[in-house]
Structure 1
Amino acid sequence: MLERIREGSQGTGAKVILGLVIFSFVFAGIGSYINSSINSAAATVNGQDISRDALEKAYQNKRAQMESQYGEAFSALAGDANYLQEFRRSVLDQLVSEKLIDQAALELGLRVSDAQIKQTIVQMEEFQIDGKFDNDRYLVVLRTAGFQPNSFRDFMRTRITREQLSKALIGTEFALPGEATLAYDLQAQTRDAKYLTVSAAGFEQQVNVSDEQIETYYQTNIASFDTEQKVSVAYVELTLDDLLPTIDVTEQELEDEYQASIANYKTEEERRVSHILLEFGDDEAAAQSKIEDILSQVKAGKDFAELAKEFSVDTFSAEKGGDIDWFGKGMMDPAFEQAAYSLASIGDVSDVVKSDFGFHIIKLTDIKAETTMAFADVKDEIANRVKMRKGEEELYSLQQRMAEVAFEIPDHLDEVAAVANKPIITTELFTRTAPPEALSSAKALNAAFDVDIIDQGVNSDLIDLGDNRLMVLRVVNNEAERTKELTEVSASIKQILVKEMSLSAAREWAQSLLTGIRAGEDISEQLASKNIAWQEKQSVARTDSELGQNVLTELFKLSEDSANNTAVVDTLSGDVTLVQVTKINAAATPESLQIDNFQRRLASNKAQLLYTEWLESLKASAEIEIYN
């Protein structure tokens, strides 16, 4: 059959048909790909393009940064397509701002010289070793970050230019000492107040909610009665802990692992020595002559400790007769270490040893021989390690097989469960915001609410949840978003309206009290009818949290004038407060350091506001076009 097809495809008719097909592609799909720009613009700013490639690169970089910083929290947000769309738009807005800044810098004639760029790069800590610029490290770091030297210099030129412009703007702002003093006085002043709280609950009996009002509220706020999508999921989960009880480890495997890692169980020989140190000074020959004279005294039987106290410039050890405590190989100067480990017996004394620190005489005072932990002492530790390794290997093998059968047999989980030797677990219906514990990770939730998995009724890909935990799931039931019927929500709407209308009634009553106060009337009978009394509080600061933020904010807007010293405030708890300022207490005289700090903060705030407003003015006057 294949031969007949091959022969037919060589005929004149077949060639004509094939030619017509190809010709039609040119005028249809394929032609459009050939003629389209691979790097089309995402936006144009004053005639200059921001490419889609640039947007995608910036988007991926920002997304990676957010995932690294916020982990699962960001991954959960990233499962929402609308959020990602807004996130991408914010990245594009940032690119637009940067383009405007670059254009403004060019128009102002700001330039950065090659020498300035080079100096900046040389001073960057990322490219230094021991405080000095290292060219090899520079090239390695650039390659890791995806830069070539030329492209990195261009990047640095742009960044430094932007910094010059921002510093020029920010550097022009300042705050006067008088401004700082006034700001401090306002910030540090306190107020004496009296207040009373009118409970909205006390007016609920006066409220009547009609069916028409419920219907109106429902229609006005109908979007708030949309339900969340719900899914019921069947899943198979496999963890390393599931496999460990089935993993067998032989005695030979344990012994082999012990031998392979025996270095981990060895404690190297350590030595304890005393020494006498003389520095080279300005005359190395004189120092050597002196140390040799001291050595001759040691050999003549003079006490080593006394000589160390008298002559050694290592004052810390000299106080202890030259003792420098225990050390192992690799801890001391190479020449010192070699000499110390060359001494055969406790009490032996070296010849004069020259190191980077000076001339030494070394006396061996003790030896800790090399030790190796016995196999029996570490057998359990080794068994756990070998078991974990074998378990991870088994888990990896099962992971490959689970992924294969989940894909090859997509309409049920039976084979996946058989491979994992785990049961299929089915959940109740749940929303994305209230998932079962096993499915609470962002990866599992994204799979459970994936449109393709739901619509096609197929298994998910194998999900690696981290910490040696694997899962395959499928959606067995899906309850789409819908708008609840009025009958379902009328009771809750009534409760909402009762609270709103009660609050409104409480506010009106409190307002009547305020009117009476401003008219000079006595409101004590009205307060008594509601069993309400004034409360007082002295020296209330702006940071006080007892009154509540709404009341506190209003308190510091009031004056001592009787016409403007009282206000009605809705509290965050759903009640109403009548608050009155009785005295304004001036701040204590500030110290000069406090004023200096306020002056710097004011200048910084002004500079930030100036920069933001300048950038907004650039956007307002620019021709910006965003492409879908």
Structure 2
Amino acid sequence: MMDNLRAAGNHVVLKIILGLIILSFVLTGVGNYLIGGNSDYAAKVNGHEISRGELEQAFNTERNRQQQMLGDQFSQLASNEGYMQQMRQQALSQLIDQALLDQYIKDLHMGISDDQVRDAIFNQQAFQTNGKFDNAKYNGLITSMGFTADQYAEALRKQLANQQLINAVANTDFMLKGETSKLVDLVAQQREIRQAIIDVNALAAKQTTTDDEISQYYQQHQSSFMAPEQFRVSYIKMDAASLQESASEADIQSWFDQHKADYSQPQRNRYSVIQTKTEADANAVLDALKKGEDFATLAKSKSIDPISARKGGDMGWLEPNTTPDELKNANLTEKGQLSGVIKSSVGFLIARLDDIQPEQVKPLSEVHDAVAEKVKQEKAVDAFYKMQQKVSEAASNDNESLAGAAEASGLKVVETDWFSQDSVPQDLDFDAVKQAIFNGGLVGQNGAPGNNSDIISVDGDRAFVLRISEHKPEAVKPLDQVKAQIADTLKHDKATQQAKEQANKLLADLNAGKQDVLQAAGLTLSASKTVDRNAQDPVAQSAFNLPQPVDNKPSWGVSEDMQGNVVLVALDKVSTGSMPQPQIDQMVKGVTQNNAQIAFEALLENLRKEAKIKYGAAAQMQ
């Protein structure tokens, strides 16, 4: 039961619902705000159209998420048309749910104020540097995603409204004190047990088997005695690290001269801006500045951008790749220089260049060792690729051995012992190498050696060329090889059956009040021990399925321990246990969250039932 409660508290769907993160919403879903409608729509929800573009973006987002999560396994799934169609339908279903929630929120008149939006932006860690809001980072991030400040704020407002609804549903469930107390008593309950073990291995040693029994078992279970496909492989391993050479001072200087940008910080400019809605307002601000009014004071009172206005218009330090085009095109080159009125996508701007940090380049002496290492690595990689070319040509020209490839590389051919897919030598344990060995392309007819492989690159700095020296296909092991194994299995099965029959007979006698039957059977009850529901021992778990003892007489049952022995269990006492308050709180939280999830799913189900949903052509796989 504790496992079920933990599962409730860690339910994936619930965590997704309750743990929505603002920035990840922006990165994956906010792009839908910028996609226009299309007559070839995906669905209409109570008249609201979900466009083909929205569906394509949601589908691609889910595809990218699964590709990152599953890695190489995803390529196999992606080739399954049914699987991709299912993913597409799931993406559309989520868009429909979102549309229904948006409409429901609107019907409830739930609103998010400008102050709530502003606070959410200021508190978002992605926009902070050293725990404080960084205006430059904020502008750079939303600009790189293709948003203006207004577009981002509107998307965020919608997301916060969603969270408000979700929290409202999630916080409605609770547990009464009496319910909590009863649940604690049940979960923390303890039981005192004794046990008598019937040793199955000891009984198995007394069993016998016949050749007919062994042969019959072999015929019926041949799939259990398969010898896996096996290989012996010859290979040459090339490693860029082994090809490193020393770097001359001339090489180091030349490389540094070509890569100075890697060791420099570009020029940075610091701007302040005042943003207005109209050109007339901007001209009025510009006139005031020319008359000597303070820029920061005007920014705080006149700018409609709440973020920069709060800091007196300061945008922070901006590098060329984070500077908006409007500021670049203003051609401000001197400290204190003021722009004219700048028309932008968010209104009109007045900008001032506050400070300039010129480009800074580290001297070679400061980075000499790092540059030398780079030169050595590049030389090694160059030699590595040249060696690969030679080995590839040699392996192609002499396709019946690796002798030519070994001569071209100056490396030795390595021969493996026999191995299967479950026992690949460590040196060959790479996905690309295993794919080449096990896909069948290098095996000749009737298991004979086939051709040399192409060059197989691994991790970018290692490469292999190989061939299958010998091959054994999957086959059933001969009876002689598995006869002893089958005999042991049959003896153990017979012993287990005998032990269960004995235990059931003893159980009937014990329940009838015959207390001396255990001694007569040569069995002894162990000392009493206390167990709880968290015990992993199957004997302890079985004790919680037994009825409570009556009149100081034990309650009896039969179980098996983790060694496969049959066990008679005596339940002597049931008592309530205790639970630390933090654990009680966590348990209650898990139960209430699970109930909240059920309520939220019920809300969505009701919204779907009452909605008019019409699917368009774009809902199908393209």
2:561 maps to which residue? 571
Matched residue of 2:92: which SS? helix
- Residue among 547, 557, 564 paired with 1:559: 547
Q: Tell me how far apart the structure 2 counterparts of residues 564 and 207 of structure 1 sit (CA, whole Å).
A: 33
Q: Tell me how far apart the structure 2 counterparts of residues 214 and 444 of structure 1 sit (CA, whole Å).
A: 41
Q: Tell me how many residue pairs correspond in the alignment.
A: 450
Correspondences of 1:116-131 after superposition (within 5 Å):
124-128=124-128, 130-131=132-133
The structure with the largest alpha-carbon Rg is: 1
1:541 and 2:529 are equivalent in the alignment: no
2:423 maps to which residue? 434
Q: Tell me how far apart the structure 1 counterparts of residues 148 and 230 of structure 2 sit (CA, whole Å).
A: 50
1:63 maps to which residue? 67
Q: CA deviation at 1:403?
A: 4.5
Query: Do the aligned partners of 1:101 and 1:162 also contact (CA within 8 Å) in 2?
Result: no
Distance 1:539 1:492, change over 3 A: closer
Correspondences of 1:62-101 after superposition (within 5 Å):
62-67=66-71, 84=77, 96-101=89-94
Query: Do the aligned partners of 2:105 and 2:165 also contact (CA within 8 Å) in 1?
Result: no
TM-score (norm 1): 0.57
Query: Do the aligned partners of 1:204 and 1:498 also contact (CA within 8 Å) in 2?
Result: yes
1:110 maps to which residue? 104
Distance 1:508 1:485, change over 3 A: same
Matched residue of 2:427: which SS? helix
Query: Do the aligned partners of 2:236 and 2:414 also contact (CA within 8 Å) in 1?
Result: yes
Query: Do the aligned partners of 1:254 and 1:382 also contact (CA within 8 Å) in 2?
Result: no
Q: Tell me how far apart the structure 2 counterparts of residues 230 and 440 of structure 1 sit (CA, whole Å).
A: 15
Query: Do the aligned partners of 2:560 and 2:567 also contact (CA within 8 Å) in 1?
Result: yes
Q: Which 10-residue stretch deviates more, 497-506 or 456-465? A: 456-465
Q: Tell me how far apart the structure 1 counterparts of residues 494 and 602 of structure 2 sit (CA, whole Å).
A: 42
1:471 maps to which residue? 464
Matched residue of 1:584: which SS? strand
Matched residue of 1:533: which SS? coil
Correspondences of 1:150-549 after superposition (within 5 Å):
170-211=170-211, 213-244=213-244, 247=245, 390-403=379-392, 405-406=394-395, 412-454=401-443, 457-466=450-459, 468-484=461-477, 486=479, 488-523=481-516, 526-527=518-519, 529-530=521-522, 532-544=523-535, 549=537
Distance 1:417 1:483, change over 3 A: same
1:606 maps to which residue? 595
Q: Tell me how far apart the structure 2 counterparts of residues 66 and 396 of structure 1 sit (CA, whole Å).
A: 31
Q: CA deviation at 1:478?
A: 2.8
Query: Do the aligned partners of 1:567 and 1:579 also contact (CA within 8 Å) in 2?
Result: yes
Q: Tell me how far apart the structure 2 counterparts of residues 626 and 211 of structure 1 sit (CA, whole Å).
A: 61
Q: CA deviation at 1:236?
A: 0.6
1:582 maps to which residue? 572
Query: Do the aligned partners of 1:462 and 1:470 also contact (CA within 8 Å) in 2?
Result: yes
Partner amino acid for 2:173?
E
Q: Tell me how far apart the structure 2 counterparts of residues 411 and 148 of structure 1 sit (CA, whole Å).
A: 64
Matched residue of 1:451: which SS? coil
Q: Tell me how far apart the structure 2 counterparts of residues 201 and 469 of structure 1 sit (CA, whole Å).
A: 51
RMSD in angstroms over aligned alpha carbons?
5.3
TM-score (norm 2): 0.57
Distance 1:496 1:422, change over 3 A: same
Q: CA deviation at 1:616?
A: 10
Q: CA deviation at 1:439?
A: 0.9
Structure 1 residues 328-364: Cα deviation after superposition (integer angstroms, max 9, x where no partner): xxxxxxxxxxxxxxxxxxxxxxxxxxxxxxxxxxxxx
Q: CA deviation at 1:554?
A: 1.0
Query: Do the aligned partners of 2:88 and 2:621 also contact (CA within 8 Å) in 1?
Result: no
- Residue among 519, 530, 538 paired with 1:550: 538
Q: CA deviation at 1:568?
A: 0.9
Partner amino acid for 1:202?
A
1:278 maps to which residue? none
Partner amino acid for 2:140?
R
Segments of structure 2 that go 5 or more residues without pairing to the other structure are: 1-39, 261-363
Q: CA deviation at 1:249?
A: 6.2
Q: Tell me how far apart the structure 2 counterparts of residues 136 and 406 of structure 1 sit (CA, whole Å).
A: 55
Q: CA deviation at 1:504?
A: 1.7
Identity of aligned residues (%): 21
Q: CA deviation at 1:104?
A: 4.2
Q: Tell me how far apart the structure 2 counterparts of residues 59 and 258 of structure 1 sit (CA, whole Å).
A: 41
Q: Tell me how far apart the structure 2 counterparts of residues 619 and 479 of structure 1 sit (CA, whole Å).
A: 58
2:265 maps to which residue? none
1:137 maps to which residue? 140
Q: Tell me how far apart the structure 1 counterparts of residues 84 and 162 of structure 2 sit (CA, whole Å).
A: 18
Structure 1 residues 461-485: Cα deviation after superposition (integer angstroms, max 9, x where no partner): 3233338332122223332333445
Distance 1:87 1:259, change over 3 A: closer
Distance 1:170 1:256, change over 3 A: closer
Q: Tell me how far apart the structure 2 counterparts of residues 583 and 188 of structure 1 sit (CA, whole Å).
A: 14
Q: Tell me how far apart the structure 1 counterparts of residues 454 and 461 of structure 2 sit (CA, whole Å).
A: 16
Query: Do the aligned partners of 1:181 and 1:595 also contact (CA within 8 Å) in 2?
Result: no
Correspondences of 1:22-33 after superposition (within 5 Å):
none
Query: Do the aligned partners of 1:97 and 1:615 also contact (CA within 8 Å) in 2?
Result: no
Structure 1 residues 64-92: Cα deviation after superposition (integer angstroms, max 9, x where no partner): 2344xxxxxxx5x779x6xx579997786
Q: Tell me how far apart the structure 1 counterparts of residues 63 and 95 of structure 2 sit (CA, whole Å).
A: 20
Distance 1:405 1:125, change over 3 A: farther
Segments of structure 1 that go 5 or more residues without pairing to the other structure are: 1-39, 68-74, 264-371
Distance 1:529 1:519, change over 3 A: closer
